[in-house]
């Protein structure tokens, strides 16, 4: 599709908002989704080459300005913050983690590289003994315990989803490099200057906008097990009292960078666009070389934590796979446990985000959102 003059029109169907006139079929699909499920509530937004082309909301549970916790879609903030450190020459992916964080170099971890740590290869998806939510929702406590733990596998020999601990590990690494936590550095260097409506720690004066994540509904006929590996129950069972990662104020007020950030689909799409393609006529925050570095696939295959084949990661981010084909070979992004999804494809210039109040069982990125991201890429590549 050639560029042409951007023309945003108000939507007149079940979905409210605006869309580029060229997205008529995408908008029709959004209306079909809402018409087929009266309970479905989503926000969806997309930029193309830095220009907003879609900003829509639908359903009974969300407003255009609602913010919510999209679980692991929050991890995109880790990847982009790390990208900024790489861009500025402050972080070397091939350096040992212990070069920045000396206490990490115990129990077989002295040679673990930053690259391995940030691509789920370090063998630290949980500490020994298991972490509590109190430790995880702290800037340093969980990291200190992880640094003293022996990896579950020889680092670099396999990979497994560090679902929550990657946020604590990355936070400590950023702190050792900058003197600021990842949440503080992200706020100062990315969120605030780029006017991104996605927050690591929701301010109290914004809490009136918060919409809860609603529980998924498991079909009566579904007999699948929750965990696909022996390691899964260990990783996802925390010591002490439980915390609702999405809906507990102690979680979203803290803003854990692996899973309890808070914002809109519009904010997530703008974050990707501003860093990778540039928005509002400004140059992108990250150079094309840095984008290639953080988006380059590091691992693909069997995930030791999830017990699933065919998983793939770059630096923090997920890569497209057969089961989650959201873009081309250089695309990257992340889904969330309850259906949300956000991604960017440097080759098509499409930055995309989708939040959902009640995701479809069994969780992970809503397949409808993944298909929308892929189809937008095809549309603008043609």
Provide the 3-class DSSP secondary structure of residue 352: strand
Q: In a 3-state reduction of DSSP, which class is residue 42?
A: strand
Give residue 223's pLDDT. 76
- Torsion angle of C-alpha atoms 171, 121, 130, 75, degrees rounded to 10: 40
Pairing of strands 341-345, 332-335: antiparallel
Looking at residue 340, its pLDDT comes to: 98
C-alpha 357/C-alpha 213 separation (Å) is 5
Write down the pTM of the prediction.
0.97
Q: pLDDT tens-digit profile of 168-179?
A: 999 999 999 999
Strand partners, 193: none
Spatial neighbors of 51 by CB under 8 A, at least 6 apart, are 6, 279
The mean pLDDT of the chain is 96
Mean of the pLDDT values across residues 221-238? 87
- Residue 331: pLDDT above 80? yes
The tens digit of pLDDT for each residue in 315-324 reads 999 999 999 9
Question: What does the block give as tokens for 230?
Answer: 């022996």
**CA-to-CA distance for 34 and 43, rounded, in angstroms?**
12
Task: Encode pLDDT of 107-162 as tens digits.
Answer: 999 999 999 999 999 999 999 999 999 999 999 999 999 999 999 999 999 999 99
CA distance 257 to 330: 23
Residue 202 main-chain phi, psi, to 5 deg = -80, 125
pLDDT higher than 70, residue 4: no
Structure tokens at 77: 């903030």
pLDDT for 28-50, tens place per residue? 999 999 999 999 999 999 999 99
**Digit-coded pLDDT (tens) for 250-298:** 999 999 999 999 999 999 999 999 999 999 899 999 999 999 999 999 9
């Amino acid at each position: 599709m050639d560029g042409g003059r951007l023309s945003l029109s108000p939507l007149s169907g079940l979905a409210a908002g605006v869309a580029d006139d060229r997205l008529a079929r995408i908008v029709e699909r959004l209306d079909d989704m809402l018409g087929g499920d009266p309970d479905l509530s989503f926000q969806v937004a997309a930029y193309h080459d830095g220009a907003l082309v879609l900003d829509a909301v639908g359903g009974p549970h969300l407003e255009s300005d609602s913010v919510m916790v999209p679980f692991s879609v929050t991890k995109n903030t880790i990847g982009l913050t790390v990208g900024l450190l790489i861009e500025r020459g402050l972080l070397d992916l091939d350096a040992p983690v212990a070069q920045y964080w000396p206490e990490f170099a115990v129990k077989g971890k002295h040679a673990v590289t930053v690259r391995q740590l940030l691509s789920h290869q370090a063998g630290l998806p949980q500490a020994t003994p298991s972490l509590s939510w109190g430790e995880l929702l702290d800037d340093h406590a969980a990291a200190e315990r992880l640094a003293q733990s022996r990896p579950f596998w020889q680092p670099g020999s396999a990979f497994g989803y560090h679902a929550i601990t990657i946020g604590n590990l990355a936070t400590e690494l950023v702190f050792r490099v900058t003197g600021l936590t990842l949440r503080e550095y992200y706020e100062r260097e990315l969120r605030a200057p780029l006017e991104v409506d996605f927050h690591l720690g929701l301010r109290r004066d914004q809490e009136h906008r918060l919409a809860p994540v609603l529980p998924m509904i498991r079909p009566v006929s579904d007999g699948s097990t929750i965990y696909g590996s022996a390691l899964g129950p260990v990783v996802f069972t925390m010591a002490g009292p439980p915390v609702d990662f999405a809906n507990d104020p102690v979680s979203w007020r803290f803003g854990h960078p692996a899973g309890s950030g808070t914002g809109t689909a519009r904010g997530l799409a703008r974050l990707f666009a501003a860093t990778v393609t540039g928005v509002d006529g400004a140059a992108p925050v990250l150079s094309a070389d840095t984008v290639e570095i953080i988006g380059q696939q590091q691992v693909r295959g069997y995930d030791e934590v999830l017990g699933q084949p065919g998983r793939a990661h770059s630096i923090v981010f997920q890569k497209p796979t057969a089961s989650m084909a959201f873009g081309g070979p250089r695309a990257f992004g992340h889904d969330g446990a309850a259906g949300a999804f956000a991604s960017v494809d440097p080759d098509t210039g499409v930055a995309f985000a989708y939040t959902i109040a009640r995701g479809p069982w069994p969780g992970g990125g809503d397949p409808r959102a993944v298909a929308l991201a892929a189809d937008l890429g095809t549309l603008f590549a043609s």
